Amino acid sequence: MTFGEIYGHQRQISILRTVIANGRVAHAYLFYGMEGLGKRTTAHVFARALNCTAEDPPCDDCASCRKAEHHNHPDIVTVTEGGPIIKIGTVKEIMGQMKFRPREGRKRVLIMPEADRMNPAAANALLKTLEEPSADNILLLTTTRPHALPMTILSRCQSLRFSPLPREDVARFLEEKRAVAPDAAAILAASSGGSIGKALEMNRQDYIALRNGILDRLASDNPDDPMARLTFAARFGTEREEILERLLILKTCYRDALIYRETGEKGILICRDRIDAIRAIAERLSGRDLLRNITAIEAAAGAIEKNANKTLTLEAMLIRFA
């Protein structure tokens, strides 16, 4: 895979290409941003480029690139940790490898996905490596939570922020790499928040049907029927992840209704393919009501993420709805 095959992130790619061309590669980088943007993919392509022998790396054709493609390059190592925490033993293993010169490449590159999972002991051990960097060893950290890393580590890394992708890039990825139909790709891209990873999670047969069901329910809501709302709460499921997904869809619907009510613009809506339902919600509720509902959804999602009682939380949220 080459830099040209990465979807979006042209500024970040330009920076990485420039440091390679100028021979000014830092000893440690931190790629951060929301989940599913391509941070890890970019880290792997950067690692290939650092060891590629072509004039415009990576080329995908030299011996180094072919080994990297088949995940057997001795100087490109991805840190894997089976549990939820990266422990000090794993970091000490990294430190041991970084004491030596690369086996056959220009650089030894160690990639640590989700670096925020390091426990304090592991983070302190890694700091020692960062304080005494080796010119032949490069460390690439990725994270969705840079604030969870110690400031001492952040200050010793060159940081690159990865922003959400434009809808067009996400849709193009779905069409080109997953053969998703253009209409479905546009819906998934609009709902993904700029995350290819999120779009792939939603790329299943029931997602659009689920979204449309929620939209239809909101468009036909009877504010005088509290029992119908309690029945609606039961449809959110019992598992934490499925409830959070439905809450995000619900929030998106009210968000679109608020935007449409205030601006009348259709092109900036996430659910613009269902303008009929969005218009019905916007006509029935005031701007204050829509804001109140969005606030209630955010509070419910926060409570469920903290392991509050799911059923009671959902029922309380729907009763508070305008």
Rounded alpha-carbon distances, angstroms, from residue 173 to 56, 144, 185, 258: 24, 21, 9, 29
From CA 109, how far away is CA 135, in angstroms rounded? 11
CA atoms 48, 53, 54, 56: torsion sign:
positive
The model carries a pTM of 0.83
Tell the CATH topology of 204-320. Zinc Finger, Delta Prime; domain 3 (1.20.272)
Answer yes or no: is pLDDT of 37 > 70. yes
User: Which CATH architecture group holds 3-161?
Assistant: 3-Layer(aba) Sandwich (3.40)
Give the per-residue pLDDT at 83: 76
Contact 254, 322 (CB under 8 A): no
CA distances 169 to 6, 186, 192, 235, Å, are: 10, 10, 11, 33
User: CA 87, 90, 93: angle at the middle one, nearest 5?
Assistant: 150
Question: Is residue 159 predicted with pLDDT exceeding 90?
Answer: yes
142 within 8 A of 32, measured Cβ to Cβ = yes
Domain limits, the chain: 3-161, 204-320
Q: Over the stretch 218-255, which tens digit does the pLDDT of each residue have?
A: 888 765 566 777 778 778 888 888 899 999 999 999 99
- Average pLDDT of the segment spanning 190-217: 89
The predicted model gives 58-74 an average pLDDT of 92
Q: Do the two domains 3-161 and 204-320 of this chain adopt the same fold? A: no
What does the angle CA 86 – CA 88 – CA 89 come to, to the nearest 5 degrees? 100
When pLDDT is averaged across residues 183-191 and rounded to a whole number, the result is 89
